[in-house]
Structure 1
Amino acid sequence: MKIAIDCLSAKSLYHGMGVYLNNLLRYLIPLAQNHSFLLFGRLRTFQCSDDFLNTKNVDFREIRLNRSFRILWENTLLPVDLIKEKVDLFWGPSNFLPPLKVCKYIVTIHDISSFIFAHTYPWLRRNYYQVSIRNALHRADGIISVSSATKNDLIKYFPISEDKIRVIPNGVGEMFQSIISPKEILRVREKYHLPSEFLLSLGVLEPKKNTERIILAYARLKEEIANLPKLVIAGSRAYGWKNSSLFQLIKRLKLEEQVLFPDKIEQKDLPAVYHSALLFLYPSLYEGFGLPVVEAMACGTPVITSNVSSLPEVAGDAAILVNPYSVSEIAQAMKEVLLNDRKREEMREKGIKNAQRFSWQKSAQELLNFFEEVMGK
């Protein structure tokens, strides 16, 4: 079987789709020695992944296009290439499938926040995501969702047969499960100018990440706890939107010295950052999976997250679940973790155990099984 994969949505090794694709392909390609792969992407996205790019069953085609021309290529020339290369199955790993059906199609839908939280998106981005997802669901022979919650959302919002959907969760990389030396932690803290103790929040700075309520909860807690450790918000401003009010809020609350925004944290440095944090805050309004939750848990960091969407499914019994719309609940959970050493240790042990449920190798095997199942229909 010849399998083509559109890797152009992966902007870098260290962000979103880059993490997803690199980890899955790293295990998928060695597992599928009887199949051949045609990958369309940017070489710089996979510059640290020569181990699978140089295998005999992989043909990598570099596509050097900006976002606008990439979308044009995907909708016009990509189907032509699939025909020319006699591709049997095409996988769109990020909500997109070509408009012309030329072979078997599988798509991964990570979430449908552009529908459920449409108001939080810039109109152009929202419309693009909505059109892409609708069209992909219509053309797909098989659909991958990264959680049961996302599967339920798809069934609720679209006329899709449940049998067409396969839940294949994300994994957690081995780097998050490794022992981090004090020397490495010190190096990373110095690199990003992090204090010795801090509370951590991580994610793109956009409305559904709920960063404003995190800041409000922190401000409330600061009135109750003397010498409260600083809050580090490791969010990517480059990929964010509708976030100017965050900085206005911090200024109004006079928290400029207490709330820190480090430079974008590289993927290789994330384990040391998680290890250094007293707790990890992720009270998102909606997630298709919530990978940072299991990454933090794998590092032994206590997690506070939301009781909505996929997050209870991913966190299991290892996190404190809060109503993400309640500033008081978020603040109370923070207080409980910070002032209770026994609670922190219990959450650390449960978190490490819970993170072991998620494996990129297992997910790659399930992905290959689904490819073969769809081709057999």
Structure 2
Amino acid sequence: MNRIFKMKIIYFFRHPKIGHSIHRVFRTLVNELEKTSEINIYEMPYLGSMPNDLLNNNIYTFKKRDTKAIHHVTGHIHDVLLALFGVKTVLTIHDLVFLDNVKNPIKRCYKWLFWLYLPVKIADKVVCISNETKQNILNKIKADNLTVIHNAVDPIFTYSPKNFNEEKPIILHIGTGWNKNLNMTIEALADINCHLRIIGKLNEIQLNLLEKFKVEYSCILNLTDEEIRQEYINCDIVNFPSIYEGFGMPVIEGQQTGRVVVTSKIEPIVEVAGNAAAFVTPNNIISLKEAYIEIIKNPIYRENLVKDGLKNAKRFSIKNISKQYVELYQNLIKE
């Protein structure tokens, strides 16, 4: 029994300069599995996704193969599965934004082949972080090796009660990319007395909107995990009205902290948030504004959202999620 449980797992990550979001999601899982398994972690030496990068990253990956290990490609670098043919493999796919947002037909065909079709066919198991991602894959290719395991909420996020500031609530907005819907948020907050706390780099359009609609704000970036945790504790509302997401970690991080979460009524966010968030139509300014006003003026509504959010966040505990991964790995060893 101990021989089965004492697994060797090799995790492959994209180059850290591309971003730390995937590292951050898996760090929680790795820390838990290290208690019972032998873990090795490798990061890709090349950043890009063009043929030369693909070749060099695959050579690097091939050199790290171990016939006695499970090889888990954690996301983004799906193409390195080409170097893992013949060994036990798991691929995590977070979303298909790499296809959904590509207009050039040649690039789209290239990414469909090397980032989706071949990796999914080679992998023994493909983990989708939401049912929405799974369905999106199935809409594009046939596959019978897909399973859904959600991301785990980092244990550093714990319930931290706070008296809600009805006079001037702090609204925490995480991310300034095209999908985070900051522009619409700014316009919806016009004439609402609040402080908008933004994590991320602002562009010129966003700066102009903040000035135009006279929204009080502050902005910060390059935070440590502890500093991010403190931002959740300091705020009154977590704002996450995205127009596209593969999962939506700020939703459960906010719920676990004990904060009201405003987020979009789109998948997979509805799947993640449960019935424990103030849902909005992300492209509708009135919907956003009404949600903020209702939260600020209605304490019973706020209390119920916080209570339900804490219950919902339990689904994403590291104990629960790591158990699902252990079962996945052990079943793969037995095959």
Shift in alpha-carbon separation, 1:173–1:126, aligned structure 2, 3 A: farther
SS at match of 1:5: strand
Shift, 1:26, TM fit: 0.5
Question: Are residue 210 (structure 1) and residue 181 (structure 2) matched?
Answer: yes
SS at match of 1:250: helix
Paired with 2:114 and 2:187, the residues of 1 have a C-alpha distance of 35
Q: Which among 1, 5, 9 is matched to residue 3 of structure 1?
A: 9
8 Å CA contact 1:108–1:143 kept in 2: the answer is yes
Paired with 1:10 and 1:369, the residues of 2 have a C-alpha distance of 29
Shift, 1:66, TM fit: 5.2
TM-score normalised by length of structure 2? 0.84
Question: Are residue 18 (structure 1) and residue 23 (structure 2) matched?
Answer: yes
Shift in alpha-carbon separation, 1:118–1:130, aligned structure 2, 3 A: farther
Report the AA paired with residue 95 of structure 2.
D
Question: Are residue 336 (structure 1) and residue 294 (structure 2) matched?
Answer: yes
Paired with 1:38 and 1:271, the residues of 2 have a C-alpha distance of 27
| Aligned-residue identity in percent | 23
8 Å CA contact 1:298–1:351 kept in 2: the answer is yes
Q: Which among 292, 297, 322 is matched to residue 364 of structure 1?
A: 322
1:172 counterpart residue number: 153
Shift, 1:108, TM fit: 0.2
1:105 counterpart residue number: 89
Shift in alpha-carbon separation, 1:38–1:200, aligned structure 2, 3 A: closer
2:308 counterpart residue number: 350
Shift in alpha-carbon separation, 1:137–1:244, aligned structure 2, 3 A: farther
Shift in alpha-carbon separation, 1:38–1:18, aligned structure 2, 3 A: closer
Shift, 1:178, TM fit: 4.7
8 Å CA contact 1:180–1:272 kept in 2: the answer is no
Deviations 1:275-311 (A, max 9, x none): 2212111111121211110101111110111111111
Q: Which among 209, 215, 219 is matched to residue 261 of structure 1?
A: 219
Shift, 1:158, TM fit: 2.1
1:231 counterpart residue number: 196
Which structure 2 segments of 5+ residues have no match?
Answer: 1-6
Which structure 1 segments of 5+ residues have no match?
Answer: 42-62, 183-194, 238-242
Paired with 2:126 and 2:229, the residues of 1 have a C-alpha distance of 32
Paired with 1:160 and 1:340, the residues of 2 have a C-alpha distance of 47
Q: Which among 122, 146, 165 is matched to residue 139 of structure 1?
A: 122
TM-score normalised by length of structure 1? 0.75
Shift, 1:196, TM fit: 7.8
Paired with 2:217 and 2:300, the residues of 1 have a C-alpha distance of 27
Shift in alpha-carbon separation, 1:142–1:18, aligned structure 2, 3 A: same
SS at match of 2:315: coil
Shift in alpha-carbon separation, 1:199–1:29, aligned structure 2, 3 A: same
SS at match of 1:175: coil
Paired with 1:132 and 1:106, the residues of 2 have a C-alpha distance of 14
Shift, 1:340, TM fit: 1.4
Shift in alpha-carbon separation, 1:21–1:125, aligned structure 2, 3 A: farther
Q: Which among 206, 214, 228 is matched to residue 246 of structure 1?
A: 206
8 Å CA contact 2:159–2:258 kept in 1: the answer is no
Shift in alpha-carbon separation, 1:171–1:206, aligned structure 2, 3 A: same
Paired with 1:361 and 1:103, the residues of 2 have a C-alpha distance of 27
Q: Which among 163, 171, 177 is matched to residue 199 of structure 1?
A: 171
SS at match of 1:287: coil
8 Å CA contact 2:282–2:288 kept in 1: the answer is yes
Shift in alpha-carbon separation, 1:129–1:234, aligned structure 2, 3 A: farther
SS at match of 1:321: strand
1:89 counterpart residue number: 70
Q: Which among 293, 307, 330 is matched to residue 265 of structure 2?
A: 307
Deviations 1:228-277 (A, max 9, x none): 0121111256xxxxx543234334x153x613222333211223211221
Paired with 2:111 and 2:140, the residues of 1 have a C-alpha distance of 17
* 93-102 or 141-150, larger mean C-alpha shift: 93-102
Report the AA paired with residue 98 of structure 1.
L
Question: Are residue 67 (structure 1) and residue 67 (structure 2) matched?
Answer: no
Report the AA paired with residue 124 of structure 2.
D
- Taking the TM superposition and a 5 Å limit, the aligned residue runs for 1:37-76 are 37-41=39-43, 65=45, 67-68=47-48, 72-76=55-59
Paired with 2:168 and 2:233, the residues of 1 have a C-alpha distance of 11
* 65-74 or 102-111, larger mean C-alpha shift: 65-74
Shift in alpha-carbon separation, 1:259–1:335, aligned structure 2, 3 A: same
Paired with 1:311 and 1:78, the residues of 2 have a C-alpha distance of 33
Shift, 1:10, TM fit: 4.7
Deviations 1:330-362 (A, max 9, x none): 111111101112211221211122112211222
Q: Which among 89, 95, 99 is matched to residue 115 of structure 1?
A: 99
Report the AA paired with residue 199 of structure 2.
A
2:3 counterpart residue number: none
Paired with 1:118 and 1:297, the residues of 2 have a C-alpha distance of 33
Q: How many residues align?
A: 319
* 352-361 or 127-136, larger mean C-alpha shift: 127-136
SS at match of 1:177: coil
